[in-house]
Amino acid sequence: MIEFTSVVKDYKGVRALDEVSFTVEPGSVTGFLGPNGAGKTTALRILLGLSRPTSGTATIFGRPYRELEAPGWQVGALLDANAQHPGRTGREILTLGAMTLGLPRSRVDEVLELVGLTEREARRTFRGYSLGMRQRLGIAHALLARPRVLVFDEPANGLDPQGIHWLRGLLRELADAGCAVLLSSHLLAEVERIADRIVVIGRGRVLAQGTLDELGRGRDLERVFLELTAEADRRAA
pLDDT digits 0-9 by tens, 43-69:
999 999 999 999 999 999 999 999 999
pLDDT digits 0-9 by tens, 82-103:
999 999 999 999 999 999 999 9
Q: Which domains does the chain have, with CATH numbers?
A: 2-80+147-236 (3.40.50.300)
Q: Which amino acid is at 161?
A: P
Please, what is the Cα angle at 169 between 168 and 175, to 5 degrees? Answer: 90
pLDDT digits 0-9 by tens, 176-198:
999 999 999 988 888 888 999 99
Determine the pLDDT at residue 134. 97
State pTM to two decimals: 0.91
pLDDT digits 0-9 by tens, 158-172:
999 999 999 999 999
